[in-house]
Amino acid sequence: MTDEKALQSPIVYVISDSIGETAEFVVRAAASQFNGGDVQVRRVPYVDSQEAIDEIVQAAQEDGAMIAFTIVIPELQQYLIEQADERNVRYVDIMGPMLTALESAYNRPPRREPGLVRKLDEDYFRRVEAIEFAVKYDDGRDPRGLLHADVVLIGVSRTSKTPLSMYLAHKRLKVANVPLVPEVEPPEELFRISHKKIIGLTIEASHLNRIRRERLKALGLTSDANYASVERIQHELEYSDRVMKRLGCTVINVSTKAVEETANMILDLIRQGRTR
């Protein structure tokens, strides 16, 4: 006669001081090695007290279950182990051995902060979303994006709007940028958003002249084209200055600044609440 207990699916209480996804994944991966992995997982996330541990260990004892945990707070971890030992409940510390090994490798203690993996995942996806946003709304392609941007960069051609947008996107900011051209009226969406979200980028005419001449050379064009003429540049800068004054936005002169320096100035403005 087949043992009835052997036919029952094992019960595993997955306990975590975060969401518990890591422990459940490990349990199911291990169970898959046993005839298809039929296992009853009872996940208990966000365990943050000894009282909660008491209830879980008692339930596991009554169910004849085992416990798998990823608790990283030392006091709760030790308490769980003590209670499980006292009640003869089997347990597996999923994170402990790896933390101990890595502590030796890093030569420093772990942070012991719950939920860091999930925070890192969320951070990654926010960065990807911001980069996609910057690409989609680069160079004034779709003015509707201005309404959803965290920061809007405006300025004449070659004031580093696109590199700045991408740099800030890696800081998880949704950035749109709009070129200011005298012959083209700025999009009306620009005047519907808070002036605090707009950063005007300006530059010295002589500096812009050098940049544009080099750009023309790189494209195999003559450097005396209207695009790089001092008169044209002066006209564009005067126009952009008028637009920025109409908007009442913050203006940064990027003449001698690296992209990183300008980006840090913008990040400082955000931290001060001056772009919200």
pLDDT confidence of residue 203? 97
pLDDT band at 2 (very low <50, low <70, confident <90, very high): very low
pLDDT confidence of residue 1? 38
Task: Report the binding-site residues.
Answer: 155-162
Domains identified in the chain and CATH numbers: 10-114 (3.40.50), 123-271 (3.40.50)
- Report the chain's mean pLDDT, rounded to a whole number: 89
Query: Following CA atoms 16, 17, 18, 19 in sequence, which dihedral angle do they give, to the nearest 10 degrees?
Result: 40
Strands of the sheet containing 198-202, edge to edge, are 175-179, 151-155, 198-202, 250-253
Q: Which residue has the higher pLDDT, 40 or 20?
A: 40
DSSP-based three-state secondary structure for 177: strand
| Rounded Cα gap, residues 76 and 100, in angstroms | 17
Q: Is the pLDDT of residue 5 over 50?
A: no
Q: Identity (one letter) of the amino acid at 145?
A: G
pLDDT confidence of residue 69? 93
pLDDT confidence of residue 222? 82
Task: Report the binding-site residues for ADP.
Answer: 155-162
Q: Identity (one letter) of the amino acid at 190?
A: L
**114 close to 72: Cβ distance less than 8 angstroms:** yes
Q: What is the CA 272 to chain-centroid distance, rounded?
A: 20
| Rounded Cα gap, residues 55 and 46, in angstroms | 14
List, for residues 133-186, the tens digit of each pLDDT value.
999 999 999 999 999 999 999 999 999 999 999 999 999 999 999 999 999 999
List, for residues 94-133, the tens digit of each pLDDT value.
988 888 888 888 888 777 766 666 665 677 788 889 999 9
